[in-house]
Amino acid sequence: MADELNYIDKIVRDKVANHAVESSLNNWAHIQRAAFWKNFFTFRIFSVNAYYAVAIVMIGIGSLSYFIEPASNVAQFNQNDQLVAETNPSVELNPNNEAANRNTPIAQIELTSKSPIIDSKAKDYQIDYKAELAKPNPSDIAKLSKIEIPSSTEPIALDRKTEIQNKNASLTDVVHPDEISETPSPKLEKEGHADAASLIASNVTEEKTGVLVDVESPTIVDEKLDSENQEEASLLPVDFISEENTIEEEETIEPSLEENLAPESPANLEDAFVLAEQASLIGDLNYMPLRSLVYSNSMAFDPAYRLLYSDTFDYYVPPAERYLWRLGVFYAPIYSTPQNYASNPEVVDVIRQKEKIEKPAMTFSTGVSLQYQGRKRIGFQTGVGVTQLGDLFSRGEYSDITPYSYPKYPEGGYNEIDTILFFNLDSLLQGVEYIDTIFDPQWVEDNTMIEGADTTKYKGAKVQNRFTYIEVPFLFSYNIPGPRLSYTLKLGMAAGFLIQADGKKLNTENEFEIVDFEYDSPKYRKVNYSVLAGVDFNYRFHQRFSFTTGFMYRRNLFDVYENYPYGLKYTSTQVTFGIQYYL
Amino acid sequence: MKRQAKAQKELYQRYAPLMRAICMRYTHDFQEAEDMVQEGFIKVFTKIDQYAGTGNFEGWLKKVFINTTINHIKKNKNLLFHYDISEVHYTEDAVTESNEDYFSTKTNILDVDFSEEEILKIINKLPDGYRVVFNLYAVEQMNHKEISDMLNISISTSKSQLFRARKTIQKCLIELAEMKVEHRRQREDKQRKKSPLRLIV
């Protein structure tokens, strides 16, 4: 029989197969625009697209901030910053090595003009300490970190001190007169020596480049001397310890305390007291490792200055360590996608239907966050927020076809049967408006029955499902710092406490009708958990404020309902915008 | 970029009329057909790299548009093929012996010259399910297995939809043919009546 009707196919095919209908150019403009944007948001390696654009913008911002901002470990210090000695120096890492590894200047100390003496000394030394220092070459830094400067262990005979003073600046140049002690130090009294370290430190004041010093592990200048002569050699000024000036060739006389102090000479007297003071202080200095190495002009490097005017100095402390806690507010539009699945095989068809008519929806998340940044870049984040998940429950017009079999006489002719004569009470009660019934006329095949179908068209419907949670996240974070722009990778979980549910669903008896969830009262899960993963870009535009943006992926761990055959979980992606305050 | 835009426009101008006609075969709503054309070309321009370069480009284009059209109908109209041939006991055998005049009808129909518009009007009057299956089978020349896979229906449903579509088209064509014959006869009668007058004059 089917073959007998093949000629119908041929008639139609011959007429319509190559049929053409002219089109308007208005359509073309629309197509061109839409295709451009669709292409733009599709990633292709060899074409311009949104992903490349975002990357270029991010790199641009990063580069800009790199040039605008000095290196991350250069900080400005205010008058309130204090030099604080380490409480437990033995456990502190050698900052020299860290500096060498980082290949960046360790710190730049900026002196304040709090102390007038610094200004005057700066003039004496022709040092512009307020000027920004040029950024050193990383390879130079690596070299500098290996420079060994003797300090603190080399006693120097006081009779040679004058000689040194003639050549170089003495400690008297760097000590405030008020700080001179009236009492000679017991160490000076006993040994008649001053500590070489302070002198050597002051000797480098002429240098205007940065110097790195490892205070923790000072070295002896000349290790070639045998142990027998070490003691003798230690009484000599550093300059004299050389192969040419051996101990044997030059007779050394240990001066007496009285001679060395030279009480008749006010200058010497002053120096003696100064040296005494320094001797005691340098001792402390040896056990006070620097928090960071100093890259600065020599004046700032001078240990005496650091000790005596500690309130005008500080060492650089990286922001991540200084501002461990950050408090922020955020808002994030969410692209929420429903994931339907059947926990009961009997409802597979309904789930398939749901998948066709449920679409992702835009929702939001907002709240406050608290972030802790640890010293090892690892930290955590928590907070509290309101998060809404949901979907767009959208269905276009649909037709419900009711098959029928009905006795009819006489045979032959067409018959129409309308199953809904006036209105569809059931559908109206359920809030689904129908449009009309369309009769499907049927040819009466024999003299007893007609078989056919009546089609009822229903109007489309659009509803939104919304589930609102109070959410408490806990995420581990890994921070990648930069001058201004830092990146934070985050991974963790969030507990969501349901506070409002506005849900619609397909009628289980007639899967083409949308009804309220209250229709058969499913139980909502009151507490649901989600897995969160994302990345934040943190742009610090102020010492204590930063702007944050980022991407976050979220996936429900459990169903929205409890004990319900229609499984529903949400996956969502969000773009976060926020402001953070460094506590 | 400019060259690409130019090429796209040329492609659109060349194939848009044909593709619009395809879309209009699947829907009786002109605006909906316009939407399908737009959707189809956007898909073509964004996925043109998927065209292997071998084979008939027009064929590939048609395939994209047919898929777009079917998806569009399924999405917006909830196209349903609810009653299976076995469910409603409506089998092809039920009508095999019913009309003896099929052959004569066939002969009559084949004698009549139908226009494209007339055929399209008849197709557009078909219910969605009939129309889609008939188009896929008769015009696109897909088999029932392919149709059932594409529309997610059973093969028997596809067959029953096709059968019903053919029957409906046949009925419409017969009516149309009869109208045309009648119209021709009336015109001939008119001319016959007018002819003697002319002779007299």
- pLDDT tens for each residue of A139-192: 554 444 333 333 333 334 444 445 444 544 333 333 333 333 334 344 444 443
The helix/strand count (H/E) of chain A reads as 17, 19
pLDDT at B75: 72
Q: Which helix (H) or strand (E) holds A549?
A: strand A545-556
The answer to the question of residue B85 being in a domain is: no
Statement to judge: residues B114 and B184 lie in one domain: yes
Contacts of A7 in chain B (CB under 8 A): 106, 109-110
* CB-CB neighbours of A523 under 10 Å: 9
Statement to judge: residues B63 and B18 lie in one domain: yes
For chain B, say whether A512 makes contact (Cβ under 8 Å).
yes
C-alpha span between B160 and B175 (Å, rounded): 22
Statement to judge: residues B52 and B112 lie in one domain: no
Do you find a cis peptide bond into A105, omega within 30 degrees of 0?
no
For chain B, say whether A445 makes contact (Cβ under 8 Å).
yes
C-alpha span between A170 and A201 (Å, rounded): 9
Dihedral (CA of A341, A347, A348, A351) sign: negative
Contact A35 B170 (CB under 8 A): no
pLDDT below 50 — which residues of chain B? 82-100, 102-103, 199-201
- Residue listed under structure tokens 């001797």: A279
Interface of A with B in 164-223 (CB under 8 A): none
Domain ranges of chain A: 89-317, 322-395+463-582, 398-458
For chain B, say whether A12 makes contact (Cβ under 8 Å).
yes
pLDDT at B148: 82
Maximum pairwise Cα distance, chain B: 76
Question: Residue B107 is part of a domain; what is its CATH number?
Answer: 1.10.10.10
Strands (E), A396-447: 398-407, 414-415, 434-439, 442-443
For residues A398 and B78, is the Cβ–Cβ distance under 8 A? yes
For residues B125 and B172, is the Cβ–Cβ distance under 8 A? yes
* Burial bucket for residue A258 (CB in 10 Å: 0-12, 13-18, 19+): exposed
Which residue, among A6, A26, A31, would best test binding to B if mutated, counting the most B CBs under 10 Å from its CB? A31
Which tokens in the block code for residue A118? 């610094």
Statement to judge: residues B189 and B137 lie in one domain: yes
For chain A, say whether B137 makes contact (Cβ under 8 Å).
yes
C-alpha span between A428 and A424 (Å, rounded): 6
More confident residue, A445 or B70: B70
Q: Residue A496 — pLDDT band, cuts 50, 70, 90?
A: very high
C-alpha span between A561 and A134 (Å, rounded): 64
Could you say which of B17, B89, B169 has the minimum Cβ distance to residue A23?
Answer: B17
The answer to the question of residue B196 being in a domain is: yes
Interface of A with B in 64-123 (CB under 8 A): none
Per-residue pLDDT for A10 more than 80?
yes
| Each residue's pLDDT tens digit, A256-310 | 444 443 333 334 444 444 544 544 444 333 323 232 223 333 334 444 444 444 4
Highest mean pLDDT among A452-461, A493-502, B176-185: A493-502
pLDDT at A539: 84
Per-residue pLDDT for A253 more than 60?
no
Statement to judge: residues B31 and B96 lie in one domain: no
From residue B193, alpha-carbon distances to A479, B179, B183 in Å are: 100, 21, 15
C-alpha span between A217 and A204 (Å, rounded): 19
Buried b (16+ CB within 10 A) or exposed e, A467-503: bbbebebebebebebbbbbbbbbbebebebeeeebeb
CB pairs under 8 A between A and B: 149
Mean pLDDT of A83-97: 37
Statement to judge: residues B112 and B154 lie in one domain: yes
Statement to judge: residues B73 and B103 lie in one domain: no
Contacts of B134 in chain A (CB under 8 A): 12
The answer to the question of residue B87 being in a domain is: no
Per-residue pLDDT for A382 more than 90?
yes
For chain B, say whether A457 makes contact (Cβ under 8 Å).
no
Residues A110, A70, A65: CA angle, nearest 5 degrees: 150
The answer to the question of residue B86 being in a domain is: no
Statement to judge: residues B96 and B40 lie in one domain: no
The whole-angstrom distance between A346's CA and the closest CA on chain B is 19
The answer to the question of residue B166 being in a domain is: yes
Weakest-pLDDT range from A108-112, A159-163, A570-574, B56-60? A108-112
Question: Terminal CA-to-CA distance of chain A, rounded, Å?
Answer: 85
Q: Residue A27 — pLDDT band, cuts 50, 70, 90?
A: confident
Contact A28 B12 (CB under 8 A): yes
For chain B, say whether A19 makes contact (Cβ under 8 Å).
yes
C-alpha span between B21 and B27 (Å, rounded): 10
CA dihedral A265, A271, A276, A282 (to 10 degrees): -170
* CB-CB neighbours of A362 under 10 Å: 12
Phi/psi at A528 (5° precision): -125, 155
The answer to the question of residue B162 being in a domain is: yes
Contacts of B8 in chain A (CB under 8 A): 32, 35
Which tokens in the block code for residue A503? 């849900």
| Each residue's pLDDT tens digit, A117-140 | 545 555 554 444 444 444 445 555
Statement to judge: residues B185 and B143 lie in one domain: yes
* Burial bucket for residue A509 (CB in 10 Å: 0-12, 13-18, 19+): exposed
pLDDT at A177: 35
For residues A535 and A551, is the Cβ–Cβ distance under 8 A? yes
Interface of A with B in 272-331 (CB under 8 A): none
Closest by CA to A158, choosing from A263, A287, A298, is: A263
Could you say which of B5, B37, B163 has the minimum Cβ distance to residue A27?
Answer: B37
* CB-CB neighbours of A154 under 10 Å: 23
Percent pLDDT > 70 in chain A is 38
Statement to judge: residues B117 and B27 lie in one domain: no
* Burial bucket for residue A573 (CB in 10 Å: 0-12, 13-18, 19+): middle
Number of domains chain B contains:
2
The answer to the question of residue B139 being in a domain is: yes
Statement to judge: residues B138 and B162 lie in one domain: yes
Contact A445 B9 (CB under 8 A): no
CATH of domain A322-395+463-582: 2.40.160.20
Q: Residue A110 — pLDDT band, cuts 50, 70, 90?
A: very low
For chain A, say whether B117 makes contact (Cβ under 8 Å).
no
| Each residue's pLDDT tens digit, A201-217 | 333 333 322 233 333 33
Over its C-alpha atoms, chain B yields an Rg (Å, rounded) of 22
Percent pLDDT > 90 in chain A is 12
Mean pLDDT of A325-353: 83
Statement to judge: residues B97 and B196 lie in one domain: yes
Could you say which of B89, B115, B123 has the minimum Cβ distance to residue A451?
Answer: B89
For chain A, say whether B56 makes contact (Cβ under 8 Å).
no
The whole-angstrom distance between B138's CA and the closest CA on chain A is 5
Could you say which of B8, B49, B163 has the minimum Cβ distance to residue A32?
Answer: B8
Contact B42 A2 (CB under 8 A): no
Which tokens in the block code for residue B41? 């070309």
Per-residue pLDDT for A388 more than 60?
yes
B200: β partners: none
Which tokens in the block code for residue B160? 């029953």
Contacts of B74 in chain A (CB under 8 A): 356
C-alpha span between B126 and B136 (Å, rounded): 14
pLDDT at A571: 93
Closest by CA to B68, choosing from B120, B15, B123, B20, is: B20
Contacts of A4 in chain B (CB under 8 A): 102, 106
For residues A400 and A456, is the Cβ–Cβ distance under 8 A? yes
Contacts of A17 in chain B (CB under 8 A): 139
As for the ipTM of the complex, it is: 0.79
Per-residue pLDDT for A495 more than 60?
yes
For residues A304 and A278, is the Cβ–Cβ distance under 8 A? yes
Which tokens in the block code for residue A561? 């309902």
Mean pLDDT of A231-236: 46
The whole-angstrom distance between B60's CA and the closest CA on chain A is 15
For chain A, say whether B115 makes contact (Cβ under 8 Å).
yes
Domain boundary residue, one of B48, B77, B106: B77
When the pLDDT of each residue in chain A is averaged and rounded to a whole number, the result is: 61
Mean pLDDT of A454-482: 81
For residue A92, give the DSSP letter.
S
Which residue, among A12, A32, A395, would best test binding to B if mutated, counting the most B CBs under 10 Å from its CB? A12
List Cβ neighbours of A377 (8 Å cut-off, separation of 6 or more).
A320, A478, A479, A480, A481
A362: β partners: A335
Phi/psi at A505 (5° precision): -155, 170
Interface of B with A in 7-46 (CB under 8 A): 8-9, 12-13, 16-18, 20-21, 24-25, 34, 37-38, 41-42, 45-46
For residue A5, give the DSSP letter.
G
The helix/strand count (H/E) of chain B reads as 8, 0
Domain boundary residue, one of B43, B77, B111: B77
- Residue listed under structure tokens 């940065």: A210
More confident residue, A276 or A580: A580
Contact A18 B38 (CB under 8 A): no
B90: β partners: none
Contact B93 A18 (CB under 8 A): no
Mean pLDDT of A521-536: 87
* CB-CB neighbours of A159 under 10 Å: 17
C-alpha span between A395 and A515 (Å, rounded): 12
For residue A519, give the DSSP letter.
G
Contacts of A451 in chain B (CB under 8 A): 88-90
Which tokens in the block code for residue A179? 């700080």
Q: Which long-range contacts (CB under 8 A, 24 or more apart) does A10-14 make?
A: A11/B109, A11/B110, A11/B114, A11/B119, A11/B173, A12/B119, A12/B123, A12/B134, A12/B138, A12/B139, A12/B169, A13/B138, A13/B139, A13/B141
Annotate A375-389 with three-state secondary structure: CCCEEEEEEEEEEEE
Which tokens in the block code for residue A33? 């625009």
Domain membership of residue B129 as a residue range: 92-200
More confident residue, A502 or A135: A502
The whole-angstrom distance between A370's CA and the closest CA on chain B is 43
CA dihedral A85, A89, A91, A94 (to 10 degrees): 90
Closest by CA to B151, choosing from B133, B125, B127, is: B133
The whole-angstrom distance between A453's CA and the closest CA on chain B is 8
Could you say which of A17, A21, A38 has the minimum Cβ distance to residue B139?
Answer: A17
